Amino acid sequence: MNEIRALLLLALFLGAESKPALAIKMLEPVAAQDLDEFIGSTVLGQARAPLGVVSSADRGAGVIGLVGRHGEFTLMHLSVLKRNGMILRAPTVSIGDFNHASTANLLRPGSTLIYPHIIVVDPLG
C-alpha cells in the first residue's frame, strides 16, 4: 500500500514539473505580417505581468509600439514576442526591462528592445 502511495506521489511531482515546460512549448513565434492584429491588445511579460497595450505596429521593421500603465513607451522587436492564439506574450521581458527600454526610448527616440537586455539605438536619432 505504501508503494502505491509513493508511486502516486512521484507521478504527481513529475506531472507538476512538466506543466511549465508544456506551457512554454505552446507559444508560437509572431510573424511580421500579423503584428497589425494585436493593436489594442495587452502584452504579457515575465510571470504573465501586463506590460502594456500595443498602440502601433510597423510590419516592415517587425516592431510594435507598447504603451505602459504609467505612460511608458517602448518599441519592441518581434524577436521578443510570442503568441498563444490571440494572446501576445513577451516571456523574457520583465517590467524592469520594459521601464529601462522606455527610458532609453526617451533619451533616443527609435531605440528598440530586441533582447531583454539589449537596446539598439538608432544612430540617426
CATH number of the domain that 50 lies in?
Answer: 2.30.30
Q: What is the pLDDT of residue 24?
A: 52
Residue 92 domain-assigned?
yes
What's the domain range around 34? 29-120
* Per-residue pLDDT in tens (0 to 9) along the chain, 125 residues: 666 666 555 565 555 544 454 455 588 999 999 999 999 999 999 999 999 999 999 999 999 999 999 999 999 999 999 999 999 999 999 999 999 999 999 999 988 988 766 666 776 65
The span from the first CA to the last CA of the chain, in angstroms, equals 71
Residue 110 domain-assigned?
yes
CA 76, CA 78: separation in Å to the nearest integer?
Answer: 6
Q: What is the pLDDT of residue 26?
A: 80
**Which strand ranges, in their side-by-side order, compose the sheet holding 73-77?**
28-29, 82-84, 87-89, 42-44, 50-58, 63-67, 73-77, 112-115, 118-120
Residue 39 domain-assigned?
yes
CA 114, CA 125: separation in Å to the nearest integer?
Answer: 17
3-state SS class at 22: helix
Cβ atoms of 121 and 108 within 8 Å: the answer is yes
C-alpha cell at 107: 533619451
C-alpha cell at 10: 512521484
Residue 33 domain-assigned?
yes
pTM of the predicted model as reported, rounded to 2 decimal places: 0.72
Query: Of 76, 7, 64, which is closest to residue 37 (Cα–Cα)?
Result: 64
Domain count, the chain: 1
